[in-house]
Copies of this chain bind each other. A is one copy, B any other.
Amino acid sequence: MRHSPSAQIIDFRGNLFLVDCGEGVQVGLCRSKIPVGKIGHILISHLHGDHCLGLVGLISSLGLGQRTGDIVIHAHPDAERIFRPLFDFFCPNLSMNVVFEPIDTTRHTVIYEDHALKISSIPLHHRMPCCGFLFEEKPRDRHLLIDRCEELGIPFAYFQGIKKGSDWTDPENGKVVPNELLTSDPTPSKKYAYCSDTLYAESIVPLIQGADLLYHEATYEHKDAAKARDRGHSTALQAATIAKMAGVKKLVIGHFSAQYLTDEQEKPLLEEAKSVFPNTVLANERLVLEV
């Protein structure tokens, strides 16, 4: 095994979400200087060991500190039956509660939502129930054309409504100024899709359409497509095909088989993906991408 098991941190405006939690995550996170105390939600794609065996160690570490806010683990309903007894045994005096939120991995459904972010499941096809995760930033406010507003003498108190899309009605003469004259389009909202582990599945394309970034597993080269299919995995070519069909902006491939032992041996995976989708990069333990 060349790479550590799966884990990604999604930093959304300072709130951290951990996606999958393979063995060794607590050590990796500590070494990376990521402020683990800011992890509020952990999303587990499926209950294979390489995606969740780091949970006990991580929860144990988090619960040694001053943290009091809940940790929410979103995972297949079996997760609580498996992990609750382990938390009880190995982490008996946690400073916070651990809450399990079951995911129906067979449906595209919202699993987390706040004022600015929505996370939904992406049903995947693997050897066991499994889903990916779609992070969608909610539409941002429109940009105020501040000079125009001041020319029209619009009071400051109305600015928030105008940024949300309201027109302006001058109270003195009843004249309506349409919103598009007062604002410009907002900064586009960002969209990130995590798809691992999965067979090649075109069913996910509509869900991840236009994503700024797609992480898609690419366990094998396409010459091993039969092996990939048997084991519920994808090839680099298949990952790139999904990226192209979905018109995403950038593709990260990862979850490479242990048969790829060196950087050199991983190159064909990248070349294969790039032949279909040029803006592809290889995942590694230290990859940091801005969306």
Q: Which of B27, B60, B90 contacts A4 (CB 8 A)?
A: B27
- Chain B residues with CB below 8 A from A47, complex form: 89-90
A57 an interface residue at 8 Å Cβ cutoff? Answer: yes
A49 at interface by CB-CB < 8 Å: yes
Which residues of chain B are within 8 angstroms of A60 by Cβ–Cβ distance? Answer: 49
Distance from A47 Cβ to chain B, minimum over Cβ atoms (Å): 7
Contact for A26 among B23, B26, B57, CB less than 8 A = B23
Cβ–Cβ contact B54 & A90, under 8 A: no
Q: Does A43 contact B (CB under 8 A)?
A: no
Question: For A91, what are the chain B residues with a Cβ–Cβ distance below 8 Å?
Answer: 49
Contact of A23 among B1, B2, B57, B85 (CB under 8 A): B57
Copy total for this chain: 2
* Docked-complex contact B49 and A90, CB < 8 angstroms: yes
Task: Tell me the residues in window 1-34 of chain A with beta carbons closer than 8 Å to chain B beta carbons.
Answer: 1-2, 4-5, 23-24, 26-27, 30-31
Q: Please state if B49 and A53 are interface contacts (CB–CB under 8 Å).
A: no
Residue A86 is within 8 A (CB to CB) of chain B in the complex:
yes
Q: Per-residue 0/1 for A40-72: is the Cβ within 8 Å of any B Cβ (1 yes, 0 no)? A: 000000011110011011001100000000000
* B26 A61 Cβ-Cβ under 8 A: no
Q: Closest Cβ of chain B: how far from A45's Cβ, in Å?
A: 15
CA gap between A90 and B48 in the complex, in Å: 6
The residue that A57 contacts in the complex, of B53, B82, B85, with Cβ under 8 A, is B53
Q: Cα distance A26–B2 when bound, in Å?
A: 11
CB-based nearest B residue for A1? B30
Q: Does A1 contact B61, Cβ atoms closer than 8 Å? A: yes
Apart from the given pairs A1-B61, A48-B90, 16 other A-B contacts in the complex at a CB distance below 8 Å: A1-B30, A1-B31, A2-B31, A5-B57, A23-B54, A23-B56, A23-B57, A24-B24, A30-B258, A49-B60, A49-B90, A50-B57, A53-B53, A53-B56, A53-B57, A86-B86
What are 9 pairs between A and B in contact, CB < 8 Å? A4-B24, A23-B24, A23-B53, A23-B54, A23-B57, A24-B27, A48-B90, A82-B86, A86-B86
